[in-house]
Amino acid sequence: MSSGTETIVHVVRHGEVHNPEKILYGRRPGYYLSDLGVRMAGAVADFLAPRDLTYIVSSPLERAVQTAEPIAAKFGMDVDIDDRLLESTNYFEGMRVSVGDGALRSPRHWPVLWNPFKPSWGEPYLEIAHRMFDALLAAREAAEGHEAAVVSHQLPIWTLRRYAQKERLWHDPRKRECSLASVTSFRFAGSSLIGVKYAEPAGHLIKLSPTAKDAKGA
């Protein structure tokens, strides 16, 4: 095990989003937390309240900033913004992609689905991994010897975790362990990653969400 000052970076997925059109909203502006999503953000803030947070940073998208704000309020801090924490780009942004009634049924979209390993329909997994890992290390440095909260999005967080754990980056989206308002905590000794833990402080609220299943793929 590596020696050095211990630092923990808690990477948080945003809460449920108000999305009555049920589209893949991606990087589109104007998508905010639902009322339930606000409660989820509060549950994350309560979960992190006993921790030694000295730094809070978020993706610039509204739903992420809204999730970060109650955490920051607990600690009397401002929320920094890091563009590296953005949602990944996706060809299907703005479309419905749910099974049975979405854009995936249309043959005109099939040419972008030729390579699931890159993937061909969006930002390459390796590019996501590199920018997210750089953001993780920046947060570790900013909170060295203490703890940080980083708010991002499902695919970037899951890609970061797989990259950090030296696992292959392509995967089945249905098997991601990164639910709404979840917390994936990266523990460092010095600059060396020595452990990853996962928690769902809003798990009891996810059961109340009629869109939680759809949100897993958002």
Q: For the chain, give the percent of residues with pLDDT over 90.
A: 72
pLDDT tens for each residue of 85-117: 999 998 888 888 876 566 677 777 677 777 887
pLDDT of residue 218 exceeding 60, the answer is no
Per-domain residue ranges of the chain: 6-215
Cα distance from N-terminal residue to C-terminal residue, the chain: 36
Residue 205 tokens read as 């609220």
Place of tokens 């970060």: 68
d(CA 136, CA 50): 21
CA distances from 50 to 64, 66, 71, 160 (A): 21, 20, 11, 25
pLDDT of residue 1 exceeding 70, the answer is no
For 4-132, where are the E strands, in sequence order? 6-13, 53-58, 80-81
d(CA 95, CA 210): 19
Choose among 117, 33, 20, 133: nearest CA to 85: 133
Q: What is the pLDDT of residue 114?
A: 75
User: Is the bond into 116 cis (omega within 30 degrees of 0)?
Assistant: no
Axis crossing angle, helix 125-142 with helix 154-164, rounded to the nearest 10: 80
**Could you tell me which residue, 157 or 203, shows the higher pLDDT?**
157
Half-sphere exposure of 102 (CA within 13 A, CB side): 16
**Could you tell me which residue, 179 or 1, shows the higher pLDDT?**
179
CATH number of 6-215: 3.40.50.1240
Q: Is the dihedral of CA 144, 147, 153, 156 positive or negative?
A: positive
Q: What is the pLDDT of residue 148?
A: 98
pLDDT of residue 80 exceeding 70, the answer is yes
**Angle CA 199–164–121, to nearest 5:** 95
**Could you tell me which residue, 174 or 143, shows the higher pLDDT?**
143
Q: What is the pLDDT of residue 99?
A: 60
Q: Are 170 and 124 in contact (CB under 8 A)?
A: no
Q: What is the pLDDT of residue 211?
A: 61
Residue 118 tokens read as 């890159």
Q: What is the pLDDT of residue 13?
A: 98
Q: Are 68 and 56 in contact (CB under 8 A)?
A: yes
d(CA 70, CA 89): 27
Which secondary-structure segment (H or E) carries 130?
Answer: helix 125-142
d(CA 98, CA 136): 31
